[in-house]
């Protein structure tokens, strides 16, 4: 059984121009050396425009796309395909972030096509799940998350599933400063591992990394990472500034 390497991934969303992204990438060189020395994986998810520049500026940081299309090419105006990403050396992508589900009509079913296309291409999907405030208040978090995981990761072969990363992000905690308590995050991430176990077997499930996301800041990241089923964090706002990103990393070493 493989051990789960800690992962800190910054989701830049629609932030940073190319110039700003390059400046961050230059400053991150030192951070990725620190991460590597401490066996932590460090990554950022810039916009498509900045992917190649960030990768070239810091070859030691994981560079993830924020989305991709499941077809390799064709009449899909405004989309970016896997071969396009692979050609510039990108092998990771966030899939099914709640903002894409909310503003771009993505569903667990459409995410599943993306996940399967990525797995077929030996890429690493960071598959996002999480409930709305209303669902949380109705006490149906687990049912929602189970359905998102079972649908979104359906059909992934057991021998390929361990490369998947799952991010649990309660929607009510994203960008709101209202983060889920460690106890809630721990319980849901533990539940996600159970669902993964039903799908892929307990050994594979024990190798899949599960991240918490939603208002993660330098002062609360450590507490999440101390939960046994939380292997890292997907961070939006607090990943944009290099000093804050550095503090996030230092607080989990």
Burial letters for 51-80: b for 16+ Cβ neighbours within 10 Å, e otherwise? bbbbbebbeebbbbbbbbbbeeeeeeeeeb
Cβ proximity to ligand PGA: between 24 and 200 the closer is 24
Query: Would you tell me the crossing angle of helices 141-152 and 182-200 to the nearest 10 degrees?
Result: 40
Cβ proximity to ligand PGA: between 43 and 213 the closer is 213
Task: Tell me how far apart the alpha carbons of residues 248 and 253 are, in angstroms, rounded to a whole number.
Answer: 9
CB 65 within 8 A of CB 93: yes
Contact code string over 229-248 relative to ligand PGA, x by CB under 6 A: -----xxxxx----------
Map the footprint of ligand PGA across residues 194-223, applying CB under 6 A.
213-216
* Shortest Cβ 246–ligand PGA spacing (Å): 16
Of the candidates 41, 99, 131, 169, the residue annotated as catalytic is 169
Pairing of strands 40-45, 232-235: unpaired
Identify whether 97 is a catalytic site residue.
Answer: yes
Task: Tell me how far apart the alpha carbons of residues 128 and 25 are, in angstroms, rounded to a whole number.
Answer: 25
Map the footprint of ligand PGA across residues 40-79, applying CB under 6 A.
none
Map the footprint of ligand PGA across residues 141-180, applying CB under 6 A.
169, 174-175
Q: What does the angle CA 235 – CA 240 – CA 242 come to, to the nearest 5 degrees?
A: 110
Contact code string over 101-140 relative to ligand PGA, x by CB under 6 A: ----------------------------------------
* Closest CB to ligand PGA: residue number: 236
* Catalytically active residues, by annotation: 97, 169
- The residues of the shown chain that bind ligand PGA, judged by CB under 6 A, are 11, 169, 174-175, 213-216, 234-238
């Amino acid at each position: 059984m493989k051990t789960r390497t800690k992962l800190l991934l910054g989701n830049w969303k629609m932030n940073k121009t190319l110039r700003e992204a390059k400046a961050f990438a230059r400053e991150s060189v030192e951070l990725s050396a620190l991460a590597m020395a401490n066996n932590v994986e460090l990554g950022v998810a810039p916009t498509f425009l900045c992917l190649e520049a960030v990768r070239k500026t810091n070859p030691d940081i994981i560079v993830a796309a924020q989305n991709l299309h499941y077809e390799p090419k064709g009449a899909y105006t405004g989309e970016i395909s896997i071969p396009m990403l692979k050609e510039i050396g990108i092998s990771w992508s966030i899939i099914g972030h709640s903002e894409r589900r909310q503003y771009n009509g993505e569903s667990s079913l459409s995410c599943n096509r993306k996940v399967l296309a990525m797995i077929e291409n030996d890429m690493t999907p960071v598959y996002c799940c999480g409930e709305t405030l209303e669902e949380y208040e109705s006490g149906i978090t687990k049912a929602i998350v189970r359905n998102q995981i079972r649908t979104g990761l359906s059909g992934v072969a057991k021998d390929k599933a361990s490369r998947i990363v799952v991010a649990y992000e309660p929607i009510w905690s994203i960008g709101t400063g209202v983060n889920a308590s460690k106890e809630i995050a721990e319980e849901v991430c533990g539940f996600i591992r159970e669902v993964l176990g039903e799908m892929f077997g307990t050994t594979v499930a024990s190798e899949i990394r599960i991240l918490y996301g939603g208002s993660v800041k330098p002062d609360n990241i450590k507490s999440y990472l101390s939960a046994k089923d939380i292997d890292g964090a997907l961070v939006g706002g607090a990943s944009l500034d290099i000093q804050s990103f550095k503090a996030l990393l230092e607080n989990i070493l």
